[in-house]
């Protein structure tokens, strides 16, 4: 379980394919303070397990299934990545509940830089869009953000300078792919009631109406 508040920006120093899985060697400092073998770390929003500790970082392993569901397949040595350790009991939940389970891959459509905030427009698959609510929470490459506006195929984020400077979001360019995780509550409700009719509508359509999604 994570909060979507990034602790550190790390760097991928090596990538090894072993038995179909991807082993990622990551250079980091802050998240290594109390890191142990078997711990979970969110890496650009993907929950991965630490399999080895190093002097200047750690190694995690991603299954072939995980790689196919997120942007790991396109990562290269030298890439900067958002890092967050798992939430400890008693910690403040400053962002929102993030599981590290990616729902889909989005694409940066356009970026407009402003003095107070930067508008980032992201296109996403229909399966993801139907679970996004205006003013609701979403994790973008592991960063907890609020959806400012939503259309049928995209949504807009208004990102403050601090977040751009202290995460990898400041590195984004139009055309880049990003990991998306929707709100766990909406996702759970949509799954549990997917075969139920409410007011004569499929649950997904009913939920869309309730949270004012635009088709």
Domain that holds residue 129: 104-210
Helix ranges (H only) for 152-212 are 161-166, 184-192, 203-210
* Same domain? 49 vs 141: no
Give the range among 10-19, 77-86, 191-200 with minimum mean pLDDT.
191-200
- Counting residues of the chain whose pLDDT is more than 70, the rounded percentage is 88
Q: Is the pLDDT of residue 203 over 60?
A: no
Tell me the torsion sign for CA atoms 101, 104, 108, 109.
Answer: negative
* Same domain? 122 vs 204: yes
**What is the per-residue DSSP string for 94-156?**
-S--B-S---EEEEEEEEEE-SS-EEEEEE--HHHHTT--TT-EEEETTEEEEEEEE-SSEEE
Read off the pLDDT of each residue in 33-48 and give the average, rounded to a whole number. Answer: 96
User: H/E element holding 68?
Assistant: helix 64-69
User: How big is the CA angle at 42 (ends 63 and 6), to the nearest 5 degrees?
Assistant: 160
* Same domain? 123 vs 184: yes
* Same domain? 116 vs 61: no
| The total number of structural domains that make up the chain | 2
Contact call for residues 100 and 45 (beta carbons, < 8 A): yes
* Same domain? 127 vs 180: yes
pLDDT band at 187 (very low <50, low <70, confident <90, very high): confident
In a domain, 90, yes or no: no
* Same domain? 60 vs 136: no
* Same domain? 108 vs 180: yes
In a domain, 16, yes or no: yes
Q: What is the pLDDT of residue 170?
A: 95
Q: CATH no. for residue 116?
A: 2.40.30.20
- Distance between CA atoms of residues 52 and 61, nearest Å: 9
In a domain, 169, yes or no: yes
In a domain, 205, yes or no: yes
pLDDT tens-place string over residues 119-129: 999 999 999 99
Helix (H, G, I), strand (E, B) or coil at 206: helix
pLDDT band at 207 (very low <50, low <70, confident <90, very high): low
- Counting residues of the chain whose pLDDT is more than 90, the rounded percentage is 73
* Same domain? 111 vs 75: no
């Amino acid at each position: 379980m994570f909060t979507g508040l990034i602790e550190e920006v790390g760097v991928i120093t090596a990538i090894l394919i072993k038995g179909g899985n991807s082993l990622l060697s990551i250079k980091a400092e802050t998240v290594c303070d109390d890191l142990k073998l078997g711990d979970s770390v969110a890496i650009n929003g993907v929950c991965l397990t630490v399999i080895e500790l190093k002097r200047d970082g750690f190694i995690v392993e991603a299954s072939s299934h995980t790689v196919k569901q997120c942007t790991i397949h396109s990562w290269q040595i030298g890439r900067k990545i958002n890092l967050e350790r798992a939430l400890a009991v008693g910690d403040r939940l400053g962002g929102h509940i993030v599981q590290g389970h990616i729902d889909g891959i989005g694409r940066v459509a356009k970026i407009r830089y402003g003095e107070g905030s930067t508008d980032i427009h992201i296109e996403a698959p229909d399966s993801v869009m139907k679970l996004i609510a205006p003013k609701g929470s979403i994790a973008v490459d592991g960063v907890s953000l609020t959806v400012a506006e939503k259309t049928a195929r995209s949504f807009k984020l208004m990102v403050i300078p601090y977040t751009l400077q202290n995460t990898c979001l400041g590195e984004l360019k139009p055309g880049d792919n990003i990991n998306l995780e929707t709100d766990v509550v909406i996702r759970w409700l949509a799954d549990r009631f997917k075969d139920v009719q409410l007011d004569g509508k499929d649950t997904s359509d009913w939920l869309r109406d309730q949270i004012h999604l635009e088709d």
